[in-house]
Amino acid sequence: MGPSKKAQKTKERILKAAIEIFSEKGYSAARTSEIAKKAGVAEGTIFRYFPKKKDLLHEIVLEAIDTFGEIIALSSLKKVVEENKEKSLEEFLKAIVLDRVKIFNNYFNLAKVVFYEMQFHEDVRKMFVDKIAKKAVNLGKEIFGERQEMGDLKDIDLLIAARSFMGMVFIMLIQKQFLPEVSTTNDFEKEIETVIDIFLNGVKKRD
């Protein structure tokens, strides 16, 4: 007899609370007592499902890598790519970015925990590289490679191009999240359009 529905719910509540606390103060500073309180269970209950505190982190990271690796990075993105294939490069990229950002926001805390703990746990880093980074790079190459074959793109290193584009978008999100007071505008769509314009056409005046 497997775990009951209620047990499943309890486990999920604990995981959810742990993600929040971990993302708020980091794994090491997070207290199991606080996780229990936020999850609305007794502290002992946590240890019925996760014998060690580390097991909590590991399950969260595994879940996150599954979520990001399979669902987000691949199938749902491919759908967006398929749907927007016929559009101009500008619209194509804008559709992808808007879609990715929407998803990213939903999983922001989860992503924070993974990025953060990756630095300190070699096993987490390795999983991230194998299950996400490499796939993301390949997917980026694939998407841009297709456009390159279509004659839309210059003959440029696709890894660098895809990575650079990700960097531009990533730093925009980071800035908006952590340093909002630096911003000049709040028009997100407009800003994405500018970023895409820089990526596609550069900042240099044509001569």
Partner DNA sequence: ATAAAAAGTGAGTAATCACTCAATTATCCC
Partner DNA sequence: GGGATAATTGAGTGATTACTCACTTTTTAT
Nearer to DNA, 44 or 151 (CB): 44
Q: Which stretch binds DNA (CB under 7 A): 46-54, 74-82, 155-163, 171-179?
A: 46-54
Question: Is 101 one of the binding residues for a copy of itself (CB under 8 A)?
Answer: no
Q: Which stretch binds DNA (CB under 7 A): 25-33, 69-77, 120-128, 137-145?
A: 25-33
Structure tokens at 136: 């993301």
**Residue 78 contact partner, candidates DNA, a copy of itself, none, CB within 5 to 8 A by sort of partner:** none
CB atoms within 10 A of CB 203: 6
- Of the candidates 137, 153, 140, which has an alpha carbon nearest to the alpha carbon of residue 88? 153
Kindly state the smallest distance separating residue 36's Cβ from DNA, in Å. Answer: 7
Kindly state the smallest distance separating residue 195's Cβ from a copy of itself, in Å. Answer: 6
- SS3 at position 179: coil
Contact (Cβ atoms closer than 8 angstroms) between residue 57 and residue 117: yes
Please count the residues of the chain. 207
98: number of CA atoms within 13 Å, CB side?
A: 15
By CB under 8 A, how many residues form the interface with a copy of itself? 56
Question: Is 188 one of the binding residues for a copy of itself (CB under 8 A)?
Answer: no
Contact (Cβ atoms closer than 8 angstroms) between residue 163 and residue 140: yes
Binding site for DNA (CB under 7 A): 1, 3-7, 10, 30-33, 40-45, 47-48, 51-54
